[in-house]
Amino acid sequence: MDFSELNLDESVLSALDAMNFKECTPVQEHTIPVLLEGHDLIGVAQTGTGKTAAYLLPVLSKLCSGEYPEDSINCIIMSPTRELAIQIDRQMEAFSYFMPVSGVAVYGGNDGVRFEQEKKGLTLGADVVIATPGRLISHLSLGYVDLSKVSFFILDEADRMLDMGFYDDILQIVKYLPKERQTIMFSATMPEKIRQLADNILNNPVEIKLAVSKPADKIIQAAYICYESQKLEIIKDLFSSQQPERVIIFASSKVKVKEVTKALLRMKLNVGEMHSDLEQLQREEILHEFRNGKVNILVATDIVARGIDIDDIRLVINYDVPHDCEDYVHRIGRTARANNDGCAITFVSETEQTKFYQIERFLDKTIYKLQIPDQIGEGPEYAPKTANNNKNRKKRNGKRIIGKNNNKRNNIRNNNKTSNEK
């Protein structure tokens, strides 16, 4: 379906035409008509499916009608991270180029000058406010922000916000909003906690669920079955013979990000790191250098990397196996964009084999296993524990024995939710 077939305002269509956007993605085709009709909506869709435009375009189209106050905040968009907030803000600027709609991005980690700029935008009544929960609450607590006339409340990547502990913050922000509003929620997954949140803040929503897309066929996928101690040596070996270009390395914790970055810097490679210990200006500078080619390799945690939107990534390396299948698809989907080829390599340690096997089952394919270089030594056998193995646990004295591995698995899962990973 073409955007011209939708009932969008002419100024929105002009912006899309200038950007050479013609055809809707599936999530846009299903979502935009529902939102233009004024319904609350909960959408289940992955990053990279065009969901930002799916909610921005109908909201901007409505704001063009002149039916909303000019000196008030009309729309609040919540983002889990600064990087995603910046990305949304950039897209809004592009889509609203031909219309008198104002916006302000509100996110933490900045100096006092930035805070004052945010305060000015909030008090003057920017049409659209894009904010991280903690930063918006900081402004709200000072008493100068009026959200009583907000008509649109949008939660982007709601599952990530809940994973980061923002559930109570969202409910606190909702208390400042009028009951009569249109609420829109997008999430990559639909766990029970998201259901609870939806029940609390949405009014009879339309639910649109798009199946988790599989990675593009043109992405070459491979894996090293290795010991944890071998991962860094494999990285060094991969980049020892040739200068890498356009590479993202995902790691589960900022400690690992720093470790990998230091090792690559010792190899005299152009590498940058992205993690929560960096100031916002530092992150923006690294992203800028990566975009313009001054940095060839970007090492990052998942959370801070969600705002990276670059088309020509040649190689994605998963230093750790992602927590779930959706995260895997999201990570490797950074490569092979815009008709480019791409490769994704995953390092799989002994403790990560079961998670990787689940990813293979989801993809319905066996991912090719690469040979570890001889000088690094042999890796472990690939023998993931399957569901059938778990069902056949031994019983003693009529009681089911829960092994140590189960507790270990839980500990890993719990540790992965700590602030060290951000």
Give CA torsion, residues 393, 398, 399, 404, to 10 deg: -40
Reported as a pLDDT band with limits 50, 70 and 90, residue 66 is: confident
CA-to-CA distance for 92 and 73, rounded, in angstroms? Answer: 15
Reported as a pLDDT band with limits 50, 70 and 90, residue 364 is: confident
CA-to-CA distance for 52 and 335, rounded, in angstroms? Answer: 20
Asked if residue 388 has pLDDT above 60, the reply is: no
Token readout for 50 is 């065009």
β-pairing verdict for 368-370 and 247-251: unpaired
Asked if residue 404 has pLDDT above 50, the reply is: no
Task: Single out the residue of 256, 230, 232, 225 nearest to residue 356, CA to CA.
Answer: 225
Burial of 412 from C-beta contacts in 10 A (0-12 / 13-18 / 19+) = middle
CA-to-CA distance for 304 and 256, rounded, in angstroms? Answer: 14
| Number of CB atoms found within 10 A of residue 395's CB | 8
Instruction: Answer yes or no: are the C-beta atoms of 251 and 293 closer than 8 Å.
Output: no
Its CATH class, for the domain covering 219-385, is alpha beta
Instruction: Answer yes or no: are the C-beta atoms of 60 and 3 closer than 8 Å.
Output: no
- Kindly state the average pLDDT of the residues 51-74: 92
DSSP string across 292-345: TTS-SEEEEETGGGTT---S-B-EEEESS--SSHHHHHHHHTTBS-TT--EEEE
Mean pLDDT score of the chain, rounded to an integer? 84
Token readout for 76 is 């609040």
> Which residues fall within 8 angstroms of residue 403, CB to CB, at 6 or more apart?
393
157 three-class SS: coil
Q: Which residue would you say has higher pLDDT here, 389 or 393?
A: 389
CATH number for the domain formed by residue range(s) 3-209? 3.40.50.300
231: phi > 0 → left, psi -120 to 50 → alpha, else beta; which? alpha
Tracing tokens 């639909």 back to the chain, one arrives at 190
pLDDT tens digits, 11-21: 999 999 888 88
Query: pTM score > 0.85 for this model?
Result: no
CA-to-CA distance for 22 and 16, rounded, in angstroms? Answer: 7
Distances (CA, A) of 313 to 81, 90, 218, 339: 22, 20, 13, 11
Full strand arrangement of the beta sheet holding 219-225: 271-274, 297-301, 247-251, 315-318, 342-348, 219-225, 368-370
Q: Where are the domains of the chain?
A: 3-209, 219-385
Beta strands in 4-126 (DSSP E): 41-44, 75-78, 103-106
pLDDT tens digits, 122-149: 999 899 999 999 999 999 999 999 999 9
CA-to-CA distance for 419 and 196, rounded, in angstroms? Answer: 24
pLDDT tens digits, 278-330: 887 888 888 889 888 899 999 998 765 555 667 678 899 999 998 777 778 87
Whether 219-385 and 3-209 are alike in CATH topology: the answer is yes
CA-to-CA distance for 193 and 159, rounded, in angstroms? Answer: 8
